[in-house]
Amino acid sequence: MKFAASCSIHQDKLMQPCTRWAPISLQKRTNAGYGLKIIGYWGDLAARASVMIFWIFALSILIAPRVACAATWQATVGSQSTDKGIQALAFLPNELWIHAGDSITWTFPSHEIHTVTFLQQDTDPQQLRPNRPGAPGGGCPGTTASPSSFDGSTCVTSGDDLFVDGATYTVTFPTAGNFKLVCLVHNNMTGVVHVLASKEKLPHKQAFYDDQAHKRQTELLSDGAGLEDQATATEQEREGEHQQGSEKSQGSKDAVTVGIGEIVATGGGSDTVSVMRFLQGSIYVRVGDTVAWTNLDPVTPHTVTFGFPIEPAPPQPPAPAGVVTLDSDGARHADVNSPTEDVHSGFLVAALQDRGPPPPPAASPPPPAFAPLPQSPLTVTRFRVTFTKPGIFNYRCILHDDLGMTGQVIVRR
Would you kindly state where each structural domain of the chain is located, as residue ranges?
2-63, 72-207, 281-353+375-412
Q: What is the pLDDT of residues 146-180, one digit of tens each?
A: 999 999 999 999 987 778 889 999 999 999 999 99
Q: What pLDDT score was predicted for residue 237?
A: 61
Q: What pLDDT score was predicted for residue 316?
A: 87
Q: What pLDDT score was predicted for residue 216?
A: 97
> Could you tell me the fold of the domain covering 281-353+375-412?
Immunoglobulin-like (2.60.40)
Residue 305 burial (CB < 10 Å; 0-12/13-18/19+)? buried
Q: What pLDDT score was predicted for residue 341?
A: 96
- Of residues 46 and 193, more confidently modeled: 193
CA 119 distance to own-chain centroid: 15
Look at residue 353 and tell me whether its pLDDT is greater than 80.
yes
- CA–CA distances in Å: residue 281 to residues 82, 167, 247, 315, 409: 18, 31, 16, 26, 8
Look at residue 6 and tell me whether its pLDDT is greater than 70.
no
Q: What is the pLDDT of residues 263-315, one digit of tens each?
A: 999 999 999 999 999 998 899 999 999 999 999 999 999 999 999 998 887 77
Find all residues with CB under 8 Å of 127, minimum gap 6, and list them: 119, 120, 121, 155
Look at residue 183 and tell me whether its pLDDT is greater than 90.
yes
First to last CA, the chain: 130
Question: Taking all residues of the chain, what is their mean pLDDT, rounded to a whole number?
Answer: 83
Q: What pLDDT score was predicted for residue 252?
A: 56
Q: What pLDDT score was predicted for residue 365?
A: 59
Q: What pLDDT score was predicted for residue 119?
A: 96
pLDDT band at 49 (very low <50, low <70, confident <90, very high): low
Q: What is the pLDDT of residues 71-126, one digit of tens each?
A: 999 999 999 999 999 999 999 999 999 999 999 999 999 999 999 999 998 777 77
Q: What are phi and psi of 62, to 5 degrees?
A: -70, -40
> Could you tell me the fold of the domain covering 72-207?
Immunoglobulin-like (2.60.40)
Q: What is the pLDDT of residues 357-404, one digit of tens each?
A: 666 665 555 555 556 678 889 999 999 999 999 999 999 999 999 999
- Which residues sit opposite 391 in a β-bridge? 411
Q: What pLDDT score was predicted for residue 32?
A: 45
Question: Quick one: average pLDDT of 206-212?
Answer: 98
Q: What is the pLDDT of residues 27-41, one digit of tens each?
A: 444 444 444 444 444
Question: Quick one: average pLDDT of 223-230?
Answer: 92
For CA atoms 142, 346, 255, 253, the dihedral sign is negative
Look at residue 235 and tell me whether its pLDDT is greater than 90.
no
Q: What is the pLDDT of residues 307-346, one digit of tens each?
A: 999 888 777 899 999 999 999 999 999 999 999 999 999 9
Look at residue 20 and tell me whether its pLDDT is greater than 60.
no
Eight-class DSSP state of 154: S
- Decide: helix, strand or coil at residue 149: strand
Q: What pLDDT score was predicted for residue 48?
A: 60
Question: Quick one: average pLDDT of 52-75?
Answer: 66
Q: What pLDDT score was predicted for residue 56?
A: 56
